[in-house]
Amino acid sequence: MKRVHGEIQGERLRAQEEVFALVRRIPSGRVMSYGQISELMDARLSPRAVGWMLHRCPEGLPWQRVVNASGGCSTDRLPDFPKGLQRSLLEGEGIEFRADGTLDMETYRWWPGRGRDGG
DNA sequence: CCATTGACGAAGA
DNA sequence: TTCTTCGCCAATG
């Protein structure tokens, strides 16, 4: 059964790459939520699992463009992570935050496949 | 293998 | 509307 285990690992790896591929497609100045990515993957990964995959994100991946469903920066919850980094990166892309520290998902949420950001 | 911990999210109080 | 509970899946001890 160890071979099965290997196949499972391969599947996880594939799911991981799929997450990365989606994140790479997010245009500058736009965002997707963890749950959105989960949904696009046909829920093969839960939103939590998506977050975990991003924990292992390769260098150069625009990870800052993934926020929680409320439009908040979940990275600020991590103990060993620079506070406010995600927000500054997004602000550098032209995104404006509200007083409560969240961004407007109605405005900035991006869906792949449409080729346009219309919104 | 079981318990605990997360870059989550929807539902209930 | 804010806070808590619970389900979710992967990783770690």
Mean pLDDT value across residues A13-27: 96
Residue A29 in domain: yes
How much is the pLDDT for A105?
A: 96
How much is the pLDDT for A11?
A: 83
* Nearest nt by C1' to A47 Cα: B8
Lowest mean pLDDT among A5-9, A33-37, A84-88, A115-119: A115-119
Residue A65 in domain: yes
Residue A113 in domain: no
Cα(A5)–Cα(A14) distance, integer angstroms: 14
* Strand B positions within 7 A of protein Cβ atoms: 6-10
pTM of the entire structure? 0.90
* Residue A53 domain boundaries: 2-107
Which residues have CB under 8 Å from A45's CB, separation 6+?
A: A15, A19, A37, A38, A53
Which residues have CB under 8 Å from A29's CB, separation 6+?
A: A93, A94, A95, A108
Residue A115 in domain: no
Q: What does the block give as tokens for A7? A: 């196949």
Residue A118 in domain: no
Residues lining strand B at under 7 Å (Cβ) are A 33-36, 38, 46-52, 54-55, 57, 63-64, 66, 68-70, 74-75, 77-78, 86
Residue A17 in domain: yes
Residue type, A80: D
How much is the pLDDT for A108?
A: 97
Cα(A102)–Cα(A86) distance, integer angstroms: 11
Task: Tell me which of A65 and A8 has the higher pLDDT.
Answer: A65
- The pLDDT tens digits of the residues spanning A28-63 come to 999 999 999 999 999 999 999 999 999 989 999 999
Could you give the percent of chain A with pLDDT greater than 90?
A: 76
Q: How many CB atoms lie within 10 A of CB A70?
A: 12
Nearest-CA residue to the C1' of C8? Answer: A46
CATH code, A14: 1.10.10.10
How many domains does chain A fold into? 1
How much is the pLDDT for A10?
A: 80
